[in-house]
Amino acid sequence: MSKYVYSFGNGTADGEGKMKDILGGKGANLAEMSRAGVPVPPGFTIACQVCNLYFEAGNRVPEEITEQMYEALGILEGRIGKRLGDADNPLLVSVRSGAKFSMPGMMDTILNLGLNDKSVKAVAKLTGDERFAYDCYRRFIQMFSGVVLEIAKDEFEHIIEGRKKKVRVKLDTQLSAADWQAVIEEYKKLVKKHSGREFPQDCKQQLEMARDAVFRSWNNDRAIYYRNMNKIPHDLGTAVNVQAMVFGNMGETSATGVGFTRNPATGENKFYGEFLVNAQGEDVVAGIRTPRPIEELGKVMPEVYQQLRDITAMLEKHYRDIQDFEFTVEKNKLWMLQTRNGKRTGPAAVRIAVEMVHEGLINKKEAVMRVEPAQLDQLLHPMLDGKALKSLTKLGKGLPASPGAAVGRIVFTADHAVEQSKKAPVVLVRKETVPDDIHGMEVAKGILTSRGGMTSHAAVVARGMGTPCVAGAESISVEERSQTISVVVDGKKVTLKEGDWLSLDGSTGDIYAGQAHTLEPDPTSGVLAEFMSWADAFRGKFGVRANADIPRDAKQARKFGAEGIGLCRTEHMFFGEDRLPHVQAMILADDEKGRRKALQKLLPMQRADFAGLFKAMDGFPVVIRTLDPPLHEFVPKREDLMVDIAKLPHADVKTKKDMAARYRMTVGELKKGLPELLKRVEQLHEFNPMLGHRGCRLGITYPEITEMQARAIFEAVAQVAKKGVKVIPEVMIPLIGGVEELQNQKSIVKKVADEVLGKAGMQDQEYMIGTMIEIPRAALTADRVAAEAEFFSFGTNDLTQTTMGLSRDDYASFSKDYQEKKIFKADPFAVLDQEGVGKLVKYGVENGRATRPDLEIGICGEHGGEPSSVEFCFRVGMNYVSCSPYRVPIARLAAAQAAISDKSEVARTA
C-alpha cells in the first residue's frame, strides 16, 4: 500500500516541487517549517492524490487510507499529550484544504473539531474559561454544519442575533457562557431540522466527515471557477491538513493574524498585515470585524511581535520570495499556522522581483520568471485624474487593498455584476465579499467593501485578479436590501443607488461619487522599465510588434516597446467620415472608370495615413495589409434600407432630412437613390461573407483597389524617406489559398512600387511583399507559396475559424458548455489550439523555410499577445509576434520566459 498520510516534519519525496505535488503547497510548507524548528502546531497531511481516489471511489476514501490517517492521528496525540474526543483532556484540530497552487478562500476549512457535549466541559475546566469553551463549540457547530451538512450560514447568524436582542447586547463578545449554551441548543435543533439527525458526537466520525467535505470542496462552483480563471488543472486535487488547534480567543493575551513579509499591493519592503486580539482566524479574513494593523502588535505584545518579525524574515530568506503567513498567539506563545509564497498585484510582483535582485536574493533570470506576463496588464491600469476630481463628491476613504483606478456603475450582487457588465462597466459594492462572489468580482472594474481589512477575502482575491479594490470603508453604510449606499459628507447625507456612477482609487483608498476621468500610466520609467530591460535581454532577437492602424496607436505601441507594426488594417482607415462617401462611391460605381475616380480621391488620404505610420515607426518595419473585408461592410444594411424605403412616402420633412444626411443624398435624390442603393446592396449580399468575396479575391476582381493602395504606400515611402526617416515597408496580401492568388496581387504591387520608387530616384529602397496565412490550404502549400512570398504572417483568428469550422461570432453562444464539459481546454480564439491549428502553423513554418530559408515569419492574430501562444510561436521558430499596443509588454515578457525555458530545456537534454 502506498503512503498517503504524512506527519509534519517527516521526510517525503525529494524536491520542493515533488513535495507540493504530494502534500499541496500548505502541507509542504508546514512540513518544511516543522523540520526547520519553527513553532508549528503538530499535525499531518493527507496527500492530494487521495482527493482523486475519493471521487473515483464514488465519494469514499479507501479504508486503507483511513487506517493511515488514524495512525498519523495517534502520532499527533502522542506528541501533544491529548486524545481526540477524550472527556478529560481532549485534542481539538483544524481540518483545512491545501492544493498544489494557492486558491485562497475557494475551498473549505473546519476549526475546533473534536468538541462535543462532553469534551466542551473538559475544555472549560482545563482553561478555567467556560465562556471560551462554549464559544469554540458554537463556532465548530456552525462551521461544521455549513461545510459538511450544507446548512446556510444566515440561519445560524439569525439565532445569534436573536440571542443578542433577547439579552440586550450589541456584540458577540458581550454574550456569556450561559448565552452560548443557549445558542448551542438552538443550533442543534436547527441541525436536526435540516439533516434529520442529531449533531454528531463521535469525534472520529466528525473527522472523517470533515475530511470528505474538504475533498468535495475541490469541486464546488467557486473552486472550479477560480481554477478556470487561473488556468489551474482540474485533476490535481487538494490535500487535507489536520492540525492541532491553538487558540487566539483565550482572552487579552491571545490573538490571531495574517500578514505578508512585504506589501502585496505595492511591493514595498515593509512588514504588512493585520491581527485581532481574542479572536480566531476566520474573524480576520471573513471581514466581519475590521482588524488592527500588524504594527500595533508591537505595542500589545512586543516580544511576540519581535519573534514574529524574526521568523518571517527567516522564511522569506529561505523561500527567496514574499511570504503570506498566518499566526496565532495563545497566552503569549506564538504559533505559525502556515506560510506560502504570497499572492501579489502586478505592480508588486515587478517591484519585488527587481528589489530582490538588488538585495542579492535572486538573479535577473529568476526575476523575469517570477512575474506572470498577464500581471503586467495591471501596471497599465489607468489612474484617476487629480484635476478632474474637484468636480466630484468625495464620499470617504477606505483601505487601499488593490491598486488602480476603477470607474463604473454600482451593483450590489455578484449575479447582477455579471448581468450589468455586459452593458456598462460596474463596481461591485458589498458589506463584505464571500468566496461565492468570485464570478461577479471577475467582471467588476472595481470592488468596494464597508467591512474587512487589507487581508480580507475581497482584498486578497482582488489583488490576485489585478482588480482595484477599496476595503473596510466603515464610514459608508451599505444597504444591500434597498440597494443603496449612504454616507454623511460635510454634515449632509449622500445616498447613491444601484446604477449610479462610482469612482475608486485602489492605490489611496479614496472613494468618489460620479464618473471620474482617468489618466494612462507611463511604462517607460521606474522599476517596470528596468524589469523590461532584463526581459528584453533574455528575449534576444525574437521580436514583438504591434497591430496599429493609425499614427496615434503606432506612437502608443512604440511607448510600450513595440519593434514595428505587424498588422496595419487599411480598411479601418476607410470608415472615417471624410472617406466613407468615396468608398461607397467606389462600390456603387458601374464600371472601372467610376471606381478609379472614387479611388483617386481616397489616394491622398491613404498616403497621409501611411506616412504617419512610417514616421512613428522610424527604423522599424511596418506590415500593411491590403483591403480585407467584403464590400458590403461599407454600405448600409439591407434591412435598414428596406425600412427607410417603406417609410419614405409617409415621412415628414424632418425625417426626410435625417434620411438624406444619413445616406449622404439630397432630399430630392432619396426617391430614386434609395432603391438604387438597395439594388447594389442586394448584389453584394453573400450567404457566408467570411468565406466570400473578400481579401485577395477583391483585389483580383478589382485590381484598381490594390493598385491604389500600393501607390499610396510607396508614395508615402518616398515622401517620408526624403525627410530622413528610415522606412521598412512590408506589403501583405490577405486570404490567399494558393500561390496563384499571391502571384496575381504581387505583380500589381511590384509594378506600382517600382514605378513610384523609380520616379523618386529610390531604386535601392528595400521592401517586401508577403502574405497572410489564414486559410488551411495556404499553410499546406507553404512550400509553393514561399517561392513568391518574402514573409509569412499567420492570421490565427481566421485560421482558427477555417481549421476548426468554427465561427468566432457564433461560438460565444455555446462556448461555456464546451469549456465546462472540457471539450475545449480554453477558448480557441483566446488561446491558440496548439494540437490542431498549431500543427498547421508548424507545418507552414517548416515547409515555407524549406523553400526560402530566410523567410520572415510572424503572427498577427489576437493570439500574439497571449502568453502560452507566444511561447508556442517562439518554439516553432517564428521571428516575431504582433498584438495590440497594450499587450506588447505582456508579449515581451512571455517571449523572454520562452527563451529562458528553451535554454533550460536544452541544458537538461544536453
Rg of the chain on CA atoms, in Å? 33
Angle, helices 703-721 vs 592-616, to 10°: value is 30
Which amino acid is present at 644? D
β 109-113/543-547 pair status: unpaired
Q: Is 457 a catalytic residue?
A: yes
Residue type, 99: A
Distance of alpha carbon 862 from alpha carbon 797, whole angstroms: 7
- Tell me which residue of 568, 472, 532 sits closest to 893, measured CA to CA: 532
CA distance 775 to 696: 12
> H helices of 119-152, where?
119-127, 130-147
Cell of 271: 512588514
Residue with cell 484540530: 93
Rounded Cα gap, residues 548 and 556, in angstroms: 9
Helix, strand or coil for residue 420?
A: helix
SS3 state at 883: strand
Instruction: For 458-484, give the DSSP string.
Output: HHHHHHHHT--EEE--TTSEEETTTTE
Let me know: does 832 contact 765? Beta carbons within 8 Å: no
448: nearest Cα among 504, 507, 492: 504
- Is residue 696 among the annotated active site residues? no
Q: What is the largest CA-CA distance in the chain?
A: 103
| Sequential DSSP letters for 338-363 | EEEEPP--HHHHHHHHHHHHHTTSS-
Cα gap 621→882, rounded to integer Å: 12
Give the sheet arrangement for strand 492-497, strand by strand: 477-479, 484-489, 492-497
Give the list of residues 6+ apart from residue 564 with CB closer than 8 angstroms, or none: 543, 545, 546, 617, 620, 621, 622, 623, 728, 880
Q: Is the dihedral of CA 283, 284, 286, 287 positive or negative?
A: positive
Separation CA 265–CA 815 (nearest Å): 34
The CA-atom distances, in angstroms, between 884 and each of 489, 567, 614 are: 43, 10, 18
* CB neighbours of residue 197 within 10 Å: 9
Selecting among 136, 203, 457, 582, the annotated active-site residue is 457
Kind and range of the H or E element at 23?
A: helix 16-35
Q: What is the torsional sign of CA 511, 512, 513, 517?
A: negative
| C-alpha span between 240 and 245 (Å, rounded) | 15
SS (H, E, C) 738-752: CHHHHHHHHHHHHHH
CA distance 201 to 206: 8
Active-site pick, 860, 863, 873, 883: 860
Q: Where are the beta strands (DSSP E) in 573-701?
A: 621-625
All 3 cell numbers of residue 459? 482584498
Rounded Cα–Cα distance for residues 549 and 565 (Å): 9
Residue written as grid cell 479574513: 285
Spatial separation of the C-alpha atoms in residues 475 and 449, rounded to whole Å: 11
Distance CA 670, CA 651 (A): 12
The answer to whether 613 and 568 are in contact (CB under 8 A) is yes
As annotated, the active-site residues are: 457, 860
